[in-house]
Chain A
Amino acid sequence: MNIGRSLVLRPFIMTRSSYRHGLFLIAPALTLVCALFVVPFGVSFLSSLTDKSGQWTLANFMRAGELYSTDIAFTIAIVVASTALIALVSIIIAGTLTLSETRWLVTLLASLYRWPLFIPFIVAAQCMRTFLAKNGLMNNSFIALGLTDPMSTASYLDWRGIIITFVWKQAPFVTLLLAGAMASLDRSTIEAGRNLGASKPRILLELVLPQVKPTLIVGLVLSFVTMMSVLSVPMMVAGSQPTMLTVDMAFRINSYGDYGTANALGVISYLICGVAAWLYLRHQTREAPR
């Protein structure tokens, strides 16, 4: 009788008290995120909008615009171009993995494309710093193959180097997501298209891609934010002018201790990511009714 009662009562006691228990257990982790993300995030807005004496001002944004408008445009151009190239490369690789009938090609491609996935950005930057240099392995290989002559080689360690490094590092990540989504598609539509005589590029663009578009866009938005956050690649792969906002922020802090301008640049980089996220959400809501 006693046992019976406790069995009936236990679920009731659990639900009544668990609200408090849950919050109690999750509080330490939430506190850390608040202290090391939410608070500094708020501080960056506050600091960008006030001067040294604590008065409200827009001077930090004026100075940021005056000194760094080229770099703001440069950053947007680099990240947008990289995102577009990542989309192109990952669609081609994932499409080949899904649609190609050449077994050895698929096996080789699948074993090759993943390599950069777990390589840290700083290691990728060091690889590219040597590979893309004027006398790096890339130019030397081109010379050896007779594609360029030794006199006309150029260093790629500028905006091109940053884009190449970003695409090299992030395209495998988007490809992994995309190839996974494509593999779980219903093969019957692909077979139907093939039976009607559609070419492989057409099957990819008109049948496969529309179905995996949400996955592609999630991967691209994540890559966009990642590229806006990376400090090591623009510092190590490109020269000092023009450069990306992350480098400018580090420079304002380390050389001048100028938190106002640095945080104004920080808020601008939040806004750039915000626009990317907004485009993504607008795309989602427009697609939803269908």
Chain B
Amino acid sequence: MILRFPFASLVLKAILIGLFAFAILGPLANLVLWSVAERWYTPFKLPVVYGTRFWEIVFRPTGDAMRSLMTSVWIALLTVAVALALSIPAGYALARLKLPLRMLIMIAFLLPQAFPSVAIYINVARIFYGLGLNGTVAGVVLVHAAHGLVYSVWIAAAAFAAVDRDLEWAARNMGASPLTAFGTVTLPLALPGLIASAIFVFLESLDEFTGTFFVGVPQVTTLPLLLYNASMGGNYQIASITAMILLVPSVLFMLVIERFLRADVLAKVGS
């Protein structure tokens, strides 16, 4: 039937893809519109006054938004440092050394992502309160690092497993100590994978809301919390601009990820 009416089929496909584009891009378009709307109220379908006044407010060096951005980036960098410090040895052990219950250990790192996290975070916050970690950057970094470990450990293990073992043995046979062989052969070869895992952890930390909401409040205000507060306070311009700042690294990441996460590493993830 479709073959008999090629034009009707073409129109139908065009309409369907148009609707799909609207469903995917419409919400994002609304975000962009709000970010440049100085005044917008019913019954107007589009902003009444356009302008960049709110962008100036957000990017004012002494403003809340810049402080939140700094806090967010600082927390994300510390989280990457903690996650890498823990996952490079852990990933190497999983890839190269003999471990009891290896599969169970791999699954243990997945657990923080596999359970409803709110119920976990309320108790973490309670424990942290007793330790004086609530409302501190250190507390938030620990929560983000635990959440990101599944990426960093699994990808690090895959990256080390993809390094050719004979190269390590060659270095050892020429008299390199285990540590020298690791530092000059294994680590540099696994580096692209480790960078990919670092990017994953950085973004997870930057976008994380729930854990910070329970553990960081009220002293630590990251960008997602600023977005939430602005939105609930009805300040849609600030909320939309903050949301767009959070979108930038996500989009950049989408563009560069394939360069770092090679197919031979991907094939070994989770094995």
Residues on A facing B (Cβ under 8 Å): 7, 10, 15, 18-19, 21-23, 25-26, 28-30, 32-33, 35-41, 43-44, 47, 102, 105, 108-109, 112-131, 134-138, 140-141, 143-144, 150, 168, 225, 228-232, 235-236, 245-246, 249-250, 253, 259, 262-263, 265-267, 269-270, 273
A40 touches B232 (CB 8 A): no
Q: How many residues of B contact A (CB 8 A)?
A: 81
Contact of A28 among B42, B45, B90 (CB under 8 A): B90
Report the minimal beta-carbon distance from A169 to chain B, rounded to whole angstroms: 10
| A-contact bits for B112-154, CB 8 A (1 contact / 0 none) | 1111111111111111000000000000001101100100010
Which of B13, B27, B30, B87 has the most C-beta atoms of chain A within 10 angstroms of its own C-beta?
B27
Q: B-side binding surface: helix, strand, loop or mixed?
A: helix
| A-contact bits for B33-48, CB 8 A (1 contact / 0 none) | 1100000001101100
CA A231 to CA B126, docked complex, whole Å:
18
CA A156 to CA B141, docked complex, whole Å:
36
A37 touches B17 (CB 8 A): no
Contact of B209 among A116, A117, A122 (CB under 8 A): A122
Contacts of B99 in A (CB 8 A): 19, 22-23, 26
CA A50 to CA B120, docked complex, whole Å:
17
Contacts of B126 in A (CB 8 A): 43, 259
CA A252 to CA B253, docked complex, whole Å:
37
B209 touches A232 (CB 8 A): yes
Measured CB to CB, the nearest residue on chain B to A11 is B169
- Given the known inter-chain contacts A44-B119, A137-B30, please indicate yes or no for A32 contacting B243, CB distance below 8 A: no
Contacts of B232 in A (CB 8 A): 235-236
A19 touches B100 (CB 8 A): yes
- Given the known inter-chain contacts A19-B98, A102-B13, A122-B209, please indicate yes or no for A10 contacting B33, CB distance below 8 A: no
A141 touches B124 (CB 8 A): no
B115 touches A225 (CB 8 A): yes
Contact of B27 among A124, A228, A231, A265 (CB under 8 A): A124
- Given the known inter-chain contacts A30-B105, A40-B120, A108-B17, please indicate yes or no for A123 contacting B90, CB distance below 8 A: no
Contact of B97 among A25, A109, A117, A229 (CB under 8 A): A25
CA A129 to CA B30, docked complex, whole Å:
10
Contacts of A140 in B (CB 8 A): 45-46
- Given the known inter-chain contacts A29-B109, A266-B119, please indicate yes or no for A40 contacting B124, CB distance below 8 A: yes
A225 touches B116 (CB 8 A): yes
CA A47 to CA B86, docked complex, whole Å:
30
Residues 81 to 115 of chain B near chain A (Cβ within 8 Å): 85-87, 89-90, 92-94, 97-100, 105, 108-109, 111-115
Measured CB to CB, the nearest residue on chain A to B252 is A118
CA A117 to CA B123, docked complex, whole Å:
30
CA A228 to CA B126, docked complex, whole Å:
21
Measured CB to CB, the nearest residue on chain A to B89 is A25
A32 touches B116 (CB 8 A): no
Known: A120-B224, A129-B236, A135-B45. 5 other contacts (CB 8 A): A28-B90, A43-B126, A137-B26, A230-B210, A231-B210
Contacts of A130 in B (CB 8 A): 27, 30-31, 34, 236, 240
Judge if B172 is at the interface, Cβ distance under 8 Å: yes
Contacts of A36 in B (CB 8 A): 112, 120, 124, 142-143, 146
A262 touches B98 (CB 8 A): no
Contacts of A7 in B (CB 8 A): 173
CA A269 to CA B120, docked complex, whole Å:
11
Judge if B76 is at the interface, Cβ distance under 8 Å: no
Q: A-side binding surface: helix, strand, loop or mixed?
A: helix
| A-contact bits for B17-35, CB 8 A (1 contact / 0 none) | 1001111111111110110
Judge if B176 is at the interface, Cβ distance under 8 Å: no
Residues 222 to 266 of chain B near chain A (Cβ within 8 Å): 224, 227-228, 231-232, 236, 239-240, 243, 246-247, 250-251, 253-254
CA A67 to CA B71, docked complex, whole Å:
38
Contacts of B86 in A (CB 8 A): 28-29, 32
The 9 closest A-B pairs by CB, nearest first: A266-B119, A22-B97, A120-B207, A127-B27, A40-B123, A25-B89, A36-B146, A25-B93, A29-B90
Report the minimal beta-carbon distance from A150 to chain B, rounded to whole angstroms: 7
Measured CB to CB, the nearest residue on chain B to A100 is B13
Contacts of B231 in A (CB 8 A): 125-126, 129, 236
B209 touches A270 (CB 8 A): no
Measured CB to CB, the nearest residue on chain B to A128 is B27
- Given the known inter-chain contacts A19-B98, A117-B254, A232-B228, please indicate yes or no for A137 contacting B123, CB distance below 8 A: no
Contacts of B202 in A (CB 8 A): none
- Given the known inter-chain contacts A32-B146, A40-B127, A122-B228, please indicate yes or no for A141 contacting B111, CB distance below 8 A: no
A115 touches B25 (CB 8 A): yes
Contacts of A29 in B (CB 8 A): 86-87, 89-90, 109, 149, 153
